[in-house]
Amino acid sequence: MKRVYSTSVWLWLALVCACKTKSTPAPVMPDEPAKRAAVSFVHCVEAGSSRCIKGDVGLGGWDAFSLLGWLTGGSPLTILQAFPRELERHTDAKKVQAKLVATVGRYQMVIRGAECEPVSSQLIMPLLDTVGKAAQERLTKLGLWQDAMAEVIEGLHREARENLENGHIIRMRCRSDPYQLYIATTQIDERQAVVGLTTVLPKFLGGEAPDRAVIRGRLESRVLGLANVPAPIPDNYVHSWVPTPVEEF
Amino acid sequence: MQILALILALSNGPASDAEPASSRTSGFETLTGFSTVLLAHINATLASENLPVGMGVPVEPGVFVTLTRDRAMVFDESIVMLGKQRMVPAPECKSGCSSSFFEAFQRLWLDLAIESQALELQLPGRVLFAADALAPAHVLIDLAYAVAETRMGQPPQMAIVLNAGPAGLRSLPFFLLPPEGLTLRFGDRALALTVTVEAAAFVLRSADPRMSRDIRVANRSELDALLRDVRRQHPGKTSIIIEAGRDATVKDVVGLALHVREEFTTLVLSAGQRVRIQ
Protein backbone atom coordinates (compact mmCIF):
# COMPACT_ATOMS: atom_id res chain seq x y z
CA MET A 1 0.00 0.00 0.00
CA LYS A 2 2.83 2.30 0.98
CA ARG A 3 4.53 1.51 -2.35
CA VAL A 4 1.38 2.40 -4.35
CA TYR A 5 1.08 5.65 -2.41
CA SER A 6 4.70 6.51 -3.03
CA THR A 7 4.35 5.81 -6.77
CA SER A 8 1.27 8.01 -6.92
CA VAL A 9 3.10 10.87 -5.23
CA TRP A 10 5.95 10.69 -7.73
CA LEU A 11 3.51 10.50 -10.61
CA TRP A 12 1.66 13.53 -9.29
CA LEU A 13 4.91 15.45 -8.82
CA ALA A 14 6.01 14.56 -12.32
CA LEU A 15 2.71 15.81 -13.73
CA VAL A 16 2.95 19.03 -11.75
CA CYS A 17 6.50 19.60 -12.98
CA ALA A 18 5.48 18.87 -16.57
CA CYS A 19 2.57 21.29 -16.30
CA LYS A 20 4.76 23.96 -14.73
CA THR A 21 7.28 23.59 -17.54
CA LYS A 22 4.55 24.10 -20.06
CA SER A 23 2.99 27.09 -18.33
CA THR A 24 6.27 29.09 -17.82
CA PRO A 25 8.46 28.83 -20.92
CA ALA A 26 12.17 29.59 -20.56
CA PRO A 27 12.87 33.28 -21.21
CA VAL A 28 14.09 34.06 -24.71
CA MET A 29 17.67 35.30 -24.59
CA PRO A 30 18.02 38.81 -26.09
CA ASP A 31 20.23 37.55 -28.90
CA GLU A 32 18.03 34.57 -29.80
CA PRO A 33 16.05 36.34 -32.57
CA ALA A 34 19.33 37.55 -34.12
CA LYS A 35 20.83 34.06 -33.94
CA ARG A 36 17.70 32.58 -35.49
CA ALA A 37 17.84 35.18 -38.26
CA ALA A 38 21.50 34.33 -38.90
CA VAL A 39 20.84 30.58 -38.99
CA SER A 40 17.87 31.02 -41.36
CA PHE A 41 20.00 33.25 -43.54
CA VAL A 42 22.74 30.61 -43.76
CA HIS A 43 20.14 27.94 -44.57
CA CYS A 44 18.71 30.21 -47.24
CA VAL A 45 22.19 30.72 -48.73
CA GLU A 46 22.88 26.98 -48.59
CA ALA A 47 19.62 26.36 -50.43
CA GLY A 48 20.84 28.62 -53.21
CA SER A 49 17.94 31.02 -52.96
CA SER A 50 18.39 34.38 -54.58
CA ARG A 51 16.10 36.06 -52.06
CA CYS A 52 18.18 35.79 -48.91
CA ILE A 53 19.00 39.50 -48.93
CA LYS A 54 16.22 42.01 -48.61
CA GLY A 55 16.95 45.44 -49.98
CA ASP A 56 14.61 47.34 -47.69
CA VAL A 57 16.37 46.69 -44.39
CA GLY A 58 18.94 49.49 -44.31
CA LEU A 59 22.01 47.69 -45.62
CA GLY A 60 23.87 51.01 -45.59
CA GLY A 61 24.33 50.84 -41.81
CA TRP A 62 26.41 47.69 -42.00
CA ASP A 63 28.25 48.99 -45.07
CA ALA A 64 29.16 52.12 -43.06
CA PHE A 65 30.35 49.95 -40.16
CA SER A 66 32.38 47.78 -42.57
CA LEU A 67 34.03 50.82 -44.13
CA LEU A 68 35.06 52.05 -40.68
CA GLY A 69 36.38 48.58 -39.83
CA TRP A 70 38.33 48.50 -43.07
CA LEU A 71 40.01 51.82 -42.24
CA THR A 72 41.19 50.39 -38.92
CA GLY A 73 42.96 47.39 -40.41
CA GLY A 74 42.91 47.49 -44.19
CA SER A 75 46.01 47.85 -46.28
CA PRO A 76 46.97 51.53 -46.70
CA LEU A 77 47.77 50.73 -50.30
CA THR A 78 44.19 49.63 -50.94
CA ILE A 79 42.70 52.41 -48.82
CA LEU A 80 44.49 54.97 -50.99
CA GLN A 81 43.40 53.16 -54.11
CA ALA A 82 39.80 52.36 -53.30
CA PHE A 83 38.44 54.47 -50.43
CA PRO A 84 37.02 57.32 -52.54
CA ARG A 85 35.38 54.82 -54.88
CA GLU A 86 33.96 52.80 -51.99
CA LEU A 87 32.53 55.95 -50.41
CA GLU A 88 30.87 56.81 -53.67
CA ARG A 89 29.41 53.29 -53.97
CA HIS A 90 28.19 53.66 -50.43
CA THR A 91 25.92 56.53 -51.45
CA ASP A 92 23.99 54.26 -53.79
CA ALA A 93 21.70 51.78 -51.99
CA LYS A 94 21.57 49.53 -55.05
CA LYS A 95 25.34 49.29 -55.20
CA VAL A 96 25.48 48.50 -51.49
CA GLN A 97 22.98 45.72 -51.99
CA ALA A 98 24.85 44.45 -55.05
CA LYS A 99 28.07 44.33 -52.99
CA LEU A 100 26.43 42.16 -50.34
CA VAL A 101 24.82 39.95 -52.98
CA ALA A 102 28.26 39.48 -54.58
CA THR A 103 29.83 38.58 -51.22
CA VAL A 104 27.12 36.05 -50.48
CA GLY A 105 27.38 34.67 -54.01
CA ARG A 106 31.11 34.08 -53.60
CA TYR A 107 30.71 32.13 -50.38
CA GLN A 108 27.54 30.26 -51.34
CA MET A 109 29.32 27.16 -52.64
CA VAL A 110 31.63 26.77 -49.66
CA ILE A 111 29.05 27.61 -47.00
CA ARG A 112 26.99 24.70 -48.29
CA GLY A 113 28.41 21.73 -46.45
CA ALA A 114 30.62 23.76 -44.11
CA GLU A 115 28.18 23.10 -41.24
CA CYS A 116 28.29 26.60 -39.79
CA GLU A 117 26.84 26.91 -36.29
CA PRO A 118 26.40 30.05 -34.18
CA VAL A 119 28.85 30.17 -31.29
CA SER A 120 28.51 33.69 -29.91
CA SER A 121 26.93 37.05 -30.47
CA GLN A 122 27.48 40.66 -29.56
CA LEU A 123 25.55 43.87 -29.93
CA ILE A 124 26.89 46.14 -32.65
CA MET A 125 26.01 49.44 -30.98
CA PRO A 126 28.74 49.31 -28.27
CA LEU A 127 31.32 48.69 -31.02
CA LEU A 128 30.50 51.84 -32.95
CA ASP A 129 32.46 54.32 -30.85
CA THR A 130 35.39 51.89 -30.70
CA VAL A 131 35.55 51.44 -34.45
CA GLY A 132 35.09 55.16 -35.16
CA LYS A 133 37.91 56.10 -32.78
CA ALA A 134 40.18 53.36 -34.11
CA ALA A 135 39.59 54.52 -37.70
CA GLN A 136 40.56 58.08 -36.77
CA GLU A 137 43.69 56.91 -34.95
CA ARG A 138 44.76 54.68 -37.83
CA LEU A 139 44.29 57.37 -40.46
CA THR A 140 46.24 59.82 -38.31
CA LYS A 141 49.06 57.30 -37.87
CA LEU A 142 49.19 56.72 -41.62
CA GLY A 143 49.28 60.44 -42.34
CA LEU A 144 45.93 60.21 -44.13
CA TRP A 145 43.97 62.34 -41.68
CA GLN A 146 42.62 65.61 -42.95
CA ASP A 147 39.79 67.88 -41.88
CA ALA A 148 37.31 66.51 -44.40
CA MET A 149 38.04 62.99 -43.16
CA ALA A 150 36.56 63.87 -39.75
CA GLU A 151 33.24 64.53 -41.46
CA VAL A 152 33.45 61.26 -43.37
CA ILE A 153 34.12 59.24 -40.22
CA GLU A 154 31.36 61.05 -38.35
CA GLY A 155 28.96 60.50 -41.26
CA LEU A 156 29.67 56.78 -41.42
CA HIS A 157 29.41 56.50 -37.65
CA ARG A 158 26.05 58.30 -37.63
CA GLU A 159 24.66 56.17 -40.42
CA ALA A 160 25.73 52.96 -38.71
CA ARG A 161 24.15 54.15 -35.44
CA GLU A 162 20.86 55.03 -37.14
CA ASN A 163 20.58 51.77 -39.04
CA LEU A 164 21.96 49.14 -36.71
CA GLU A 165 19.60 49.65 -33.76
CA ASN A 166 19.56 46.46 -31.66
CA GLY A 167 21.72 44.84 -34.31
CA HIS A 168 24.00 41.93 -33.50
CA ILE A 169 27.06 40.29 -34.95
CA ILE A 170 26.60 36.55 -34.80
CA ARG A 171 29.82 34.58 -34.97
CA MET A 172 29.42 31.19 -36.61
CA ARG A 173 32.06 28.51 -36.63
CA CYS A 174 32.25 26.26 -39.67
CA ARG A 175 33.95 22.88 -40.12
CA SER A 176 35.66 23.93 -43.34
CA ASP A 177 36.25 27.01 -45.45
CA PRO A 178 35.30 29.78 -44.60
CA TYR A 179 35.83 28.48 -41.00
CA GLN A 180 34.32 31.65 -39.49
CA LEU A 181 31.29 33.63 -40.56
CA TYR A 182 30.17 36.86 -38.97
CA ILE A 183 26.55 37.63 -39.78
CA ALA A 184 25.29 41.13 -38.98
CA THR A 185 21.65 41.76 -38.15
CA THR A 186 19.52 44.76 -37.37
CA GLN A 187 16.08 45.15 -35.91
CA ILE A 188 13.34 46.10 -38.35
CA ASP A 189 10.04 46.62 -36.52
CA GLU A 190 9.88 43.58 -34.26
CA ARG A 191 12.06 41.24 -36.28
CA GLN A 192 15.77 40.77 -36.84
CA ALA A 193 16.99 41.01 -40.44
CA VAL A 194 20.39 40.09 -41.84
CA VAL A 195 22.27 43.10 -43.25
CA GLY A 196 25.80 41.84 -43.74
CA LEU A 197 28.25 38.98 -43.86
CA THR A 198 31.99 38.86 -43.48
CA THR A 199 34.57 36.16 -42.87
CA VAL A 200 37.01 38.38 -41.00
CA LEU A 201 36.49 40.73 -38.10
CA PRO A 202 39.30 42.54 -36.26
CA LYS A 203 40.09 41.14 -32.84
CA PHE A 204 39.25 44.41 -31.09
CA LEU A 205 35.75 44.15 -32.54
CA GLY A 206 35.30 40.66 -31.18
CA GLY A 207 36.70 38.72 -34.12
CA GLU A 208 38.79 35.59 -33.70
CA ALA A 209 42.22 35.55 -35.34
CA PRO A 210 42.56 32.53 -37.65
CA ASP A 211 45.05 29.89 -36.57
CA ARG A 212 47.71 28.44 -38.90
CA ALA A 213 45.53 25.61 -40.15
CA VAL A 214 42.72 28.01 -40.99
CA ILE A 215 45.10 30.37 -42.79
CA ARG A 216 46.49 27.49 -44.84
CA GLY A 217 43.01 26.21 -45.58
CA ARG A 218 41.76 29.60 -46.67
CA LEU A 219 44.79 30.27 -48.86
CA GLU A 220 43.83 27.15 -50.79
CA SER A 221 40.19 28.16 -50.83
CA ARG A 222 38.23 27.96 -54.07
CA VAL A 223 36.55 31.21 -53.11
CA LEU A 224 39.75 33.23 -53.14
CA GLY A 225 40.99 31.45 -56.24
CA LEU A 226 44.65 31.80 -55.27
CA ALA A 227 45.95 29.01 -57.46
CA ASN A 228 49.58 28.25 -56.66
CA VAL A 229 50.53 28.15 -60.32
CA PRO A 230 53.31 30.49 -61.45
CA ALA A 231 52.55 32.68 -64.41
CA PRO A 232 54.17 31.51 -67.64
CA ILE A 233 57.64 32.90 -68.28
CA PRO A 234 59.16 33.07 -71.78
CA ASP A 235 61.38 30.11 -72.67
CA ASN A 236 64.61 32.07 -72.82
CA TYR A 237 64.15 33.53 -69.33
CA VAL A 238 66.07 32.23 -66.34
CA HIS A 239 63.15 31.33 -64.05
CA SER A 240 59.81 32.65 -62.82
CA TRP A 241 61.71 34.04 -59.79
CA VAL A 242 64.38 35.64 -61.97
CA PRO A 243 62.44 36.87 -65.00
CA THR A 244 65.39 38.05 -66.98
CA PRO A 245 66.85 36.71 -70.27
CA VAL A 246 69.25 33.86 -69.64
CA GLU A 247 71.87 35.37 -71.98
CA GLU A 248 72.19 38.31 -69.55
CA PHE A 249 72.50 36.05 -66.50
CA MET B 1 22.82 58.88 -47.30
CA GLN B 2 24.71 62.01 -46.47
CA ILE B 3 28.10 60.69 -47.39
CA LEU B 4 28.11 62.09 -50.91
CA ALA B 5 28.45 65.60 -49.55
CA LEU B 6 31.39 64.41 -47.48
CA ILE B 7 33.11 62.86 -50.47
CA LEU B 8 32.86 66.22 -52.11
CA ALA B 9 34.51 67.72 -49.06
CA LEU B 10 37.45 65.37 -49.60
CA SER B 11 37.77 66.41 -53.20
CA ASN B 12 39.26 69.63 -54.51
CA GLY B 13 36.21 71.78 -53.96
CA PRO B 14 32.59 71.19 -54.93
CA ALA B 15 31.78 69.36 -58.12
CA SER B 16 29.15 70.58 -60.52
CA ASP B 17 26.11 68.42 -61.22
CA ALA B 18 27.32 67.81 -64.74
CA GLU B 19 30.65 66.47 -63.57
CA PRO B 20 30.99 62.70 -63.87
CA ALA B 21 30.83 60.89 -60.55
CA SER B 22 34.24 59.27 -60.96
CA SER B 23 36.02 62.60 -61.07
CA ARG B 24 34.46 63.84 -57.84
CA THR B 25 36.69 61.73 -55.67
CA SER B 26 39.92 62.27 -57.54
CA GLY B 27 41.03 65.02 -55.16
CA PHE B 28 41.48 62.51 -52.38
CA GLU B 29 44.26 60.70 -54.22
CA THR B 30 46.03 63.90 -55.10
CA LEU B 31 45.82 65.27 -51.58
CA THR B 32 47.72 62.39 -50.04
CA GLY B 33 49.69 60.07 -52.26
CA PHE B 34 51.39 56.79 -51.57
CA SER B 35 54.85 58.30 -51.19
CA THR B 36 53.55 60.70 -48.51
CA VAL B 37 52.12 57.78 -46.56
CA LEU B 38 55.33 55.78 -46.98
CA LEU B 39 57.53 58.69 -45.91
CA ALA B 40 55.34 59.42 -42.86
CA HIS B 41 55.56 55.77 -41.86
CA ILE B 42 59.33 55.58 -42.36
CA ASN B 43 59.90 58.76 -40.37
CA ALA B 44 57.74 57.44 -37.56
CA THR B 45 59.46 54.06 -37.37
CA LEU B 46 63.10 54.33 -38.40
CA ALA B 47 63.65 57.87 -39.78
CA SER B 48 64.49 58.30 -43.45
CA GLU B 49 68.12 59.22 -42.69
CA ASN B 50 68.60 55.65 -41.46
CA LEU B 51 67.65 54.16 -44.82
CA PRO B 52 70.45 53.10 -47.17
CA VAL B 53 71.44 56.03 -49.35
CA GLY B 54 71.23 56.00 -53.15
CA MET B 55 69.41 57.20 -56.23
CA GLY B 56 67.89 54.00 -57.62
CA VAL B 57 64.60 54.31 -59.46
CA PRO B 58 61.30 55.99 -58.53
CA VAL B 59 59.20 54.33 -55.84
CA GLU B 60 56.03 52.70 -57.08
CA PRO B 61 53.13 51.90 -54.74
CA GLY B 62 53.26 48.52 -53.05
CA VAL B 63 52.93 46.63 -49.80
CA PHE B 64 55.54 48.06 -47.44
CA VAL B 65 57.58 45.97 -45.07
CA THR B 66 59.82 47.72 -42.55
CA LEU B 67 62.90 46.29 -40.89
CA THR B 68 64.21 48.32 -37.98
CA ARG B 69 66.95 47.12 -35.68
CA ASP B 70 64.42 45.63 -33.25
CA ARG B 71 61.36 44.68 -35.28
CA ALA B 72 59.79 43.76 -38.57
CA MET B 73 56.56 45.43 -39.61
CA VAL B 74 54.01 45.11 -42.37
CA PHE B 75 52.45 48.48 -43.07
CA ASP B 76 51.99 50.02 -39.62
CA GLU B 77 51.76 46.74 -37.71
CA SER B 78 54.66 45.02 -35.95
CA ILE B 79 54.82 41.36 -36.90
CA VAL B 80 58.01 40.16 -35.22
CA MET B 81 60.10 41.61 -32.39
CA LEU B 82 63.65 40.72 -33.35
CA GLY B 83 65.80 39.30 -30.60
CA LYS B 84 62.77 38.50 -28.45
CA GLN B 85 61.42 35.68 -30.58
CA ARG B 86 63.46 32.60 -31.40
CA MET B 87 63.96 32.51 -35.14
CA VAL B 88 63.45 28.92 -36.25
CA PRO B 89 63.06 27.90 -39.89
CA ALA B 90 59.52 27.20 -41.04
CA PRO B 91 59.23 23.60 -42.29
CA GLU B 92 57.13 24.80 -45.26
CA CYS B 93 59.61 27.50 -46.26
CA LYS B 94 61.90 26.00 -48.91
CA SER B 95 64.53 28.70 -48.46
CA GLY B 96 64.65 28.05 -44.71
CA CYS B 97 63.09 31.39 -43.80
CA SER B 98 61.97 31.99 -40.24
CA SER B 99 58.63 30.56 -39.17
CA SER B 100 57.67 33.87 -37.54
CA PHE B 101 58.09 35.66 -40.85
CA PHE B 102 56.49 32.86 -42.82
CA GLU B 103 53.34 32.80 -40.67
CA ALA B 104 53.05 36.58 -40.62
CA PHE B 105 53.24 36.82 -44.39
CA GLN B 106 50.84 33.93 -44.97
CA ARG B 107 48.36 35.92 -42.91
CA LEU B 108 49.24 39.09 -44.82
CA TRP B 109 48.55 37.53 -48.22
CA LEU B 110 45.31 36.00 -46.95
CA ASP B 111 44.13 39.38 -45.65
CA LEU B 112 45.15 41.08 -48.87
CA ALA B 113 43.42 38.41 -50.96
CA ILE B 114 40.17 38.79 -49.02
CA GLU B 115 40.40 42.57 -49.20
CA SER B 116 41.25 42.64 -52.90
CA GLN B 117 38.45 40.28 -53.75
CA ALA B 118 35.90 42.26 -51.77
CA LEU B 119 37.00 45.46 -53.49
CA GLU B 120 37.36 43.89 -56.94
CA LEU B 121 41.06 44.74 -57.12
CA GLN B 122 44.13 42.75 -58.14
CA LEU B 123 46.18 41.17 -55.36
CA PRO B 124 49.10 43.60 -54.79
CA GLY B 125 52.08 42.55 -56.86
CA ARG B 126 54.81 44.76 -55.45
CA VAL B 127 56.53 44.79 -52.06
CA LEU B 128 58.84 47.53 -50.80
CA PHE B 129 61.34 46.91 -48.04
CA ALA B 130 62.28 49.91 -45.92
CA ALA B 131 65.23 48.69 -43.88
CA ASP B 132 67.55 50.32 -41.41
CA ALA B 133 70.90 50.58 -43.18
CA LEU B 134 72.63 48.98 -40.19
CA ALA B 135 70.20 46.07 -39.86
CA PRO B 136 71.63 42.64 -40.74
CA ALA B 137 71.24 42.07 -44.47
CA HIS B 138 70.55 38.35 -43.99
CA VAL B 139 67.40 39.24 -42.01
CA LEU B 140 66.20 41.44 -44.85
CA ILE B 141 66.79 38.61 -47.33
CA ASP B 142 65.03 36.17 -44.98
CA LEU B 143 62.05 38.56 -44.89
CA ALA B 144 62.05 38.81 -48.68
CA TYR B 145 62.01 35.03 -49.09
CA ALA B 146 59.15 34.74 -46.58
CA VAL B 147 57.19 37.38 -48.52
CA ALA B 148 57.86 35.72 -51.86
CA GLU B 149 57.28 32.12 -50.78
CA THR B 150 53.96 32.85 -49.09
CA ARG B 151 52.43 34.65 -52.04
CA MET B 152 50.39 32.20 -54.04
CA GLY B 153 51.39 32.05 -57.70
CA GLN B 154 54.08 34.44 -58.84
CA PRO B 155 56.52 36.08 -56.37
CA PRO B 156 55.90 39.82 -56.13
CA GLN B 157 58.15 42.47 -57.63
CA MET B 158 60.43 43.61 -54.83
CA ALA B 159 62.51 46.68 -54.11
CA ILE B 160 64.55 48.18 -51.27
CA VAL B 161 63.63 51.76 -50.35
CA LEU B 162 66.48 54.26 -50.61
CA ASN B 163 67.02 57.72 -49.18
CA ALA B 164 67.90 59.89 -52.17
CA GLY B 165 68.33 63.09 -50.17
CA PRO B 166 66.55 66.03 -51.83
CA ALA B 167 65.11 63.62 -54.42
CA GLY B 168 63.10 61.96 -51.65
CA LEU B 169 62.52 58.24 -51.55
CA ARG B 170 63.77 56.03 -54.39
CA SER B 171 64.08 52.27 -54.71
CA LEU B 172 66.41 49.48 -55.71
CA PRO B 173 64.53 46.62 -57.44
CA PHE B 174 65.76 43.07 -56.91
CA PHE B 175 64.88 39.44 -57.56
CA LEU B 176 65.60 36.40 -55.42
CA LEU B 177 67.22 33.17 -56.53
CA PRO B 178 64.53 30.46 -56.36
CA PRO B 179 64.34 29.01 -52.81
CA GLU B 180 65.57 25.58 -53.93
CA GLY B 181 68.40 27.08 -55.99
CA LEU B 182 68.63 27.26 -59.75
CA THR B 183 69.65 24.62 -62.25
CA LEU B 184 70.65 25.79 -65.72
CA ARG B 185 71.82 23.83 -68.71
CA PHE B 186 75.43 24.00 -69.81
CA GLY B 187 74.17 25.22 -73.16
CA ASP B 188 72.57 28.28 -71.52
CA ARG B 189 76.09 29.66 -71.11
CA ALA B 190 75.09 31.33 -67.88
CA LEU B 191 77.76 33.14 -65.88
CA ALA B 192 75.86 33.28 -62.56
CA LEU B 193 78.24 35.87 -61.17
CA THR B 194 77.93 35.80 -57.38
CA VAL B 195 79.46 38.05 -54.73
CA THR B 196 79.22 37.22 -51.05
CA VAL B 197 79.50 40.31 -48.87
CA GLU B 198 81.27 39.64 -45.61
CA ALA B 199 82.30 42.02 -42.85
CA ALA B 200 85.80 42.62 -44.22
CA ALA B 201 85.90 40.79 -47.51
CA PHE B 202 84.10 39.96 -50.74
CA VAL B 203 83.99 36.45 -52.17
CA LEU B 204 83.49 36.12 -55.91
CA ARG B 205 82.48 33.03 -57.87
CA SER B 206 80.86 32.24 -61.18
CA ALA B 207 80.27 29.49 -63.70
CA ASP B 208 83.28 30.67 -65.73
CA PRO B 209 85.84 27.82 -65.67
CA ARG B 210 88.58 30.43 -65.13
CA MET B 211 86.93 31.23 -61.79
CA SER B 212 86.23 27.66 -60.78
CA ARG B 213 87.29 28.40 -57.22
CA ASP B 214 86.03 31.15 -54.92
CA ILE B 215 88.15 34.29 -55.09
CA ARG B 216 88.39 36.26 -51.86
CA VAL B 217 89.35 39.93 -51.92
CA ALA B 218 89.76 42.27 -48.98
CA ASN B 219 88.32 45.51 -50.30
CA ARG B 220 86.08 47.22 -52.84
CA SER B 221 88.92 48.31 -55.17
CA GLU B 222 90.20 44.75 -55.56
CA LEU B 223 86.64 43.62 -56.22
CA ASP B 224 86.22 46.39 -58.81
CA ALA B 225 89.29 45.16 -60.65
CA LEU B 226 87.94 41.62 -60.71
CA LEU B 227 84.50 42.76 -61.88
CA ARG B 228 86.04 44.87 -64.64
CA ASP B 229 87.82 41.77 -65.83
CA VAL B 230 84.57 39.78 -65.74
CA ARG B 231 82.82 42.47 -67.78
CA ARG B 232 85.57 42.37 -70.38
CA GLN B 233 85.24 38.61 -70.70
CA HIS B 234 81.43 38.58 -70.62
CA PRO B 235 80.13 41.91 -71.91
CA GLY B 236 76.52 40.73 -72.26
CA LYS B 237 76.16 39.57 -68.66
CA THR B 238 74.33 42.22 -66.69
CA SER B 239 73.06 40.23 -63.69
CA ILE B 240 74.77 39.95 -60.33
CA ILE B 241 73.84 37.68 -57.43
CA ILE B 242 74.64 39.08 -54.00
CA GLU B 243 74.71 36.98 -50.86
CA ALA B 244 75.00 38.44 -47.39
CA GLY B 245 77.41 37.00 -44.86
CA ARG B 246 76.26 36.92 -41.23
CA ASP B 247 77.93 40.28 -40.42
CA ALA B 248 76.96 42.17 -43.56
CA THR B 249 74.54 45.04 -43.09
CA VAL B 250 71.84 46.27 -45.43
CA LYS B 251 74.11 49.21 -46.17
CA ASP B 252 76.93 46.86 -47.24
CA VAL B 253 74.73 44.92 -49.66
CA VAL B 254 72.88 47.93 -51.07
CA GLY B 255 76.15 49.86 -51.31
CA LEU B 256 77.70 47.14 -53.44
CA ALA B 257 74.60 46.74 -55.61
CA LEU B 258 74.47 50.48 -56.31
CA HIS B 259 78.23 50.66 -56.87
CA VAL B 260 78.10 48.06 -59.65
CA ARG B 261 74.65 49.00 -60.94
CA GLU B 262 75.89 50.75 -64.05
CA GLU B 263 77.45 47.52 -65.28
CA PHE B 264 75.25 44.96 -63.53
CA THR B 265 71.72 46.25 -63.78
CA THR B 266 69.87 43.15 -62.60
CA LEU B 267 70.25 42.50 -58.89
CA VAL B 268 69.47 39.03 -57.56
CA LEU B 269 69.71 38.37 -53.82
CA SER B 270 70.32 34.96 -52.33
CA ALA B 271 70.20 33.43 -48.87
CA GLY B 272 72.82 30.86 -49.82
CA GLN B 273 70.94 29.29 -52.74
CA ARG B 274 73.25 28.03 -55.46
CA VAL B 275 73.22 28.04 -59.26
CA ARG B 276 74.05 24.62 -60.69
CA ILE B 277 75.12 24.24 -64.30
CA GLN B 278 74.67 20.75 -65.78
pLDDT tens profile B197-232: 998 899 999 988 777 789 999 999 999 999 999 999
Chain A residues 82-121 within an 8 A CB cutoff of chain B: 82-88, 90-93, 103, 106
Minimum CA–CA partner of B22 in chain A: A85
Higher pLDDT, B88 or B9: B88
For chain B, the structural domain boundaries read 1-31, 32-176, 182-277
CB distance A227–B118 less than 8 Å? Answer: no
Residues of A in contact with B116 (CB under 8 A): 78
Using the Cβ of A229 and the Cβ atoms of chain B, whether some distance falls under 8 Å is answered with yes
pLDDT by residue (tens digit) across B92-126? 999 999 999 999 999 999 999 999 999 999 999 99
Which CA distances in Å does A225 have to A45, B123, B153? 20, 11, 11
Q: Which of B25, B33, B34 sits opposite A88 (nearest CB)?
A: B25
Q: How far is A39 from chain B (nearest CA, A)?
A: 23
Q: Please answer yes or no on whether B24 and A75 come within 8 Å at the CB atom.
A: no
Q: What is the CATH number of domain B182-277?
A: 3.30.420.40
Question: Which chain A residue has its CA at the smallest distance from B5's CA?
Answer: A152
The alpha-carbon gap from A229 to the nearest alpha carbon of chain B, in Å, equals 5
Q: What is the residue-wise DSSP string for A69-88?
A: HHHHHS-HHHHHHHHHHHHH
Q: Are B149 and B94 in contact (CB under 8 A)?
A: yes
pTM for this model (two decimals): 0.86
Range of lowest pLDDT (A76-85, A194-203, B27-36, B179-188): B27-36
The verdict on a CB contact (< 8 Å) between B61 and A80 is: yes
Q: So what's the pLDDT on residue B199? A: 83
pLDDT band at A227 (very low <50, low <70, confident <90, very high): low
How far, rounded to the nearest angstrom, does the alpha carbon of residue A238 sit from its chain's CA centroid? 44
Compute how many other C-beta atoms are within 10 angstroms of the C-beta atom of residue A172: 25
Contact list, A84 vs chain B (CB under 8 Å): 7, 10-11, 25-26, 28-29
Q: What percent of chain B has pLDDT over 90?
A: 79
Interface list for A 184-213 with B (CB within 8 A): 199-200, 210, 212
Given a cut of 80, whether residue B85 has pLDDT beyond it is no
Contact at 8 Å (CB) between A108 and A45? yes
Taking each continuous run of H as one helix and of E as one strand, the counts in chain B are: 8, 14
Query: How sure is the predictor about A67, in pLDDT bands with cuts at 50, 70 and 90?
Result: very high
pLDDT digits (tens, 9 = 90+) for A158-169: 999 999 988 999
- Rounded percentage of chain A residues whose pLDDT exceeds 70: 87
Rounded to the nearest angstrom, the minimum Cα separation between B54 and chain A is 23
Helix axes A59-73, A76-90, angle to 10 degrees: 170
More confident residue, B256 or A191: B256
What confidence score (pLDDT) does residue A13 get? 47
Residues of A in contact with B75 (CB under 8 A): 75-77
Searching chain B, which residue's CA lies closest to the CA of residue A101? Answer: B118
Alpha helical stretches, state H, B174-219: none
Q: What is the pLDDT of residue A27?
A: 64
Q: Which has more pLDDT, A30 or B45?
A: B45
Task: Check if A29 contacts B (Cβ < 8 Å).
Answer: no
Q: Which residues contact A31 (CB under 8 A, 6 or more apart)?
A: A121, A168, A170
Q: What is the structure's pLDDT at B11?
A: 44
